Amino acid sequence: MNDNFTEEMQKKMTEVDPERMGGYIDLFDRLLLYTMAVQIMPPEILEKLLKKWEHIIKATIDMESNIRTTYLEETPHGRSETKHEQPDGEELRLNNLKTLNMAKLILDNNLQSPKEEENDDLD
């Protein structure tokens, strides 16, 4: 019975987009993780985790932006890119911070406990 299941699954796998299917499964994994985190972890720990995550991401954004600025200012190829209006380090920083803020909003929303969501609906 298990062999038939495997053969049938292999056949079905050739008929779907594996990248999209993986994305769907990854989304379920994330939802499961968020649900478990909200149910198991105290809110204070989740808040500390989010702050640590944000700190790490901001440090990475700063480093990448500084590298971009240095590249554009100190290399011939970089200087030619500035003439073609390629984004500089500060533009990169601002775009990445905007993306980080959106990700943080999504995470904050996903990490709300079901009780908090019910209270939000009543407001």
Predicted confidence (pLDDT) at residue 56 exceeds the cutoff of 60: yes
Instruction: Compute the Cα dihedral for 99, 122, 46, 37 and give only its sign.
Output: negative
CA neighbours within 13 Å on the CB side: how many for 27?
6
Task: Please report the pLDDT score of residue 118 as a whole number.
Answer: 55
pLDDT, tens digit (0-9, with 9 covering 90-100), for 16-45: 888 888 899 999 998 899 889 889 999 999
Alpha-carbon distance of 27 to 117, in angstroms, equals: 20
Alpha-carbon distance of 49 to 35, in angstroms, equals: 15
Q: Which of 73, 98, 76 is nearest to 88 (CA)?
A: 73
Q: Is the model's pTM score more than 0.85?
A: no
Q: Calculate the average pLDDT of the chain.
A: 85
Task: Please report the pLDDT score of residue 49 as a whole number.
Answer: 92
Angle between helices 89-110 and 43-74 in degrees, nearest 10:
170
Q: Which of 122, 113, 96 is nearest to 46 (CA)?
A: 113
Residue corresponding to tokens 């996903």: 110
Q: How many CB atoms lie within 10 A of CB 16?
A: 10
pLDDT band at 86 (very low <50, low <70, confident <90, very high): confident
Query: What is the share, in percent, of the chain residues with pLDDT greater than 70?
Result: 88
